[in-house]
Amino acid sequence: MEKKQLGAALIISGILILGGIFYMTSRLRQQSIVFSPKLMLSALWNSYKKEYIEPSSGRTLDRQRNDTTTSEGQSYTMLRAVWQDDKETFDRSWQWTKDNLKRPDSNLSSWLYGKKPDGSYGILEDQGGQNAATDADTDIAMALLFAGNRWGDQQYTENAKNIIKDIWNNEIVTINGIPYLAANNIEKNSASAVIINPSYFAPYAYRMFAQADPEHDWGAVIDSSYRILKQASISPLDKNSSSGLPPDWIALDRKTAALIVPAGSQMTTNYGYDAMRVPFRVALDWEWYKEPRAKELLRQYDFLNQEWQDRKIIFASYSHDGQALFNSETPAMYGTSLGYFLVTEPATAETVYQNKLQSLYSPDLQDWKKPLGYYDDNWAWFGLALYNHDLVNLFTERE
């Protein structure tokens, strides 16, 4: 009897070995195996650090832009680090940011750093790099608030409070008693028009700022941000009609706060590289605070759903009236669009998530199947994390 059992065991073992060999050499080997979203996000974070963060300094490199560093890039690294509970990377990134980007007149960050014409490294003033970018300042402050709560260190919180106060003093412009979030620190000096980047609006962050900085009316900034997002999305602006999507750039009349199409070819009303971030940021306000205006605004972006239903594709950029400007797709567009789909069309969100983002990841490589580039890597990751509800509001709770 024992010999029969031993023989059967050997036969079964042989079958399993042969089956394994068959799998390793068959098409099944190319199919995705079951994996944990948390493990995927962690693996992608580790690969991001290797590819884009300079080991010796904590500087985030944009490989597609001659290894320049932006305050935006530092803010993304800090956010991802605190969400991944990676204090070492967070601290190195924050230290480098303070040492190299901090403006001399405030706690805000200069937006562009890199190799100068003379070969040295520093702020690229010939490209306006000394100016601040409000989205980065906002995200850095929020990351520091998160860090203070997650790791129990009040110094992070104090650093955040200093930045928040300087955002108000330098990047908030008041028109007829109403505070508006400007795109940078120089708009407060404009006598005619105030440049606005709608994708910089982060109402969820202003709720945190209101607690950290009760001296200022951050609730009014939430209100003005939602109002501009709605108006800029439905207004025709420089077209005959609107697709219902927000523009990359807009301006406000300095006296009346009326919407103005900004001058300059670089500040378009397209739904593109900048504006694509709006659905994500608005979705976070719904995810964390269940703000009714967030869901209402996202429903206004039905153009995204129509594109998906008609074409099964969302292109990289659209004119304000809804014409595709490029016959191509980007992971960043899908990552940010998930904010819209997750809140308004959850069944479609699952399809977009699986077919356009999760499919880019290889469980075997524990990395993207192909490098995405700095911007796409970040926004694909943020989209994956949002879909899996892994972007925890660390200001109100600890994981």
Q: What was the pLDDT predicted at 22?
A: 33
Residue 35 pLDDT more than 80? no
Burial class (CB in 10 A: 0-12, 13-18, 19+), 159: buried
Contacts 24+ apart (CB under 8 A), 49-52: 49/89, 51/371, 51/377, 52/77, 52/374, 52/377
Q: What is the mean pLDDT of residues 203-218?
A: 99
Q: How confident is the model at residue 265 (pLDDT cuts 50, 70, 90)?
A: confident
Average pLDDT, the chain: 92
Residue 116 pLDDT more than 80? yes
Q: What was the pLDDT predicted at 225?
A: 99
pLDDT in tens, 43-97: 999 999 999 999 999 999 999 999 999 999 999 999 999 999 999 999 999 999 9
Where along the chain do its domains lie? 68-170, 176-200+211-297
Residue 317 pLDDT more than 60? yes
Residue 5 pLDDT more than 80? no
Write out the two tokens for 224.
């003005």
* Backbone torsions φ then ψ of 136, nearest 5 degrees: -65, -45
The whole-angstrom distance between residue 71's C-alpha and the CA centroid of its chain comes to: 13
Give the H/E segment covering residue 112. strand 112-115
Q: How confident is the model at residue 175 (pLDDT cuts 50, 70, 90)?
A: very high
CA distances from 111 to 28, 69, 105, 346, 357 (A): 47, 8, 14, 36, 29
Residue 1 pLDDT more than 50? no
Which amino acid, residue 278?
Answer: V
Q: How confident is the model at residue 263 (pLDDT cuts 50, 70, 90)?
A: confident
Q: What was the pLDDT predicted at 399?
A: 56
**pTM of this structure:** 0.91
The partner residues of 29 in beta bridges, in order of sequence, read: none
Q: What is the mean pLDDT of residues 97-115?
A: 98
Q: What is the mean pLDDT of residues 301-330?
A: 98
Q: Do 139 and 202 touch, CB atoms closer than 8 A?
A: yes
Q: How confident is the model at residue 398 (pLDDT cuts 50, 70, 90)?
A: low
Q: Which residues of 364-398 are buried (b: 16+ CB within 10 A; e: fewer)?
A: eeebbeeebbbbbbbbbbbbbbbbeebbbbbbeee
Write out the two tokens for 38.
């948390």
Q: What is the mean pLDDT of residues 359-377?
A: 97
More confident call, 285 vs 10: 285
pLDDT in tens, 267-285: 999 999 999 999 999 999 9
Write out the two tokens for 197.
């980047």
Give the Cα separation of 359 and 130 in Å (integer). 39
Give the Cα separation of 278 and 280 in Å (integer). 5
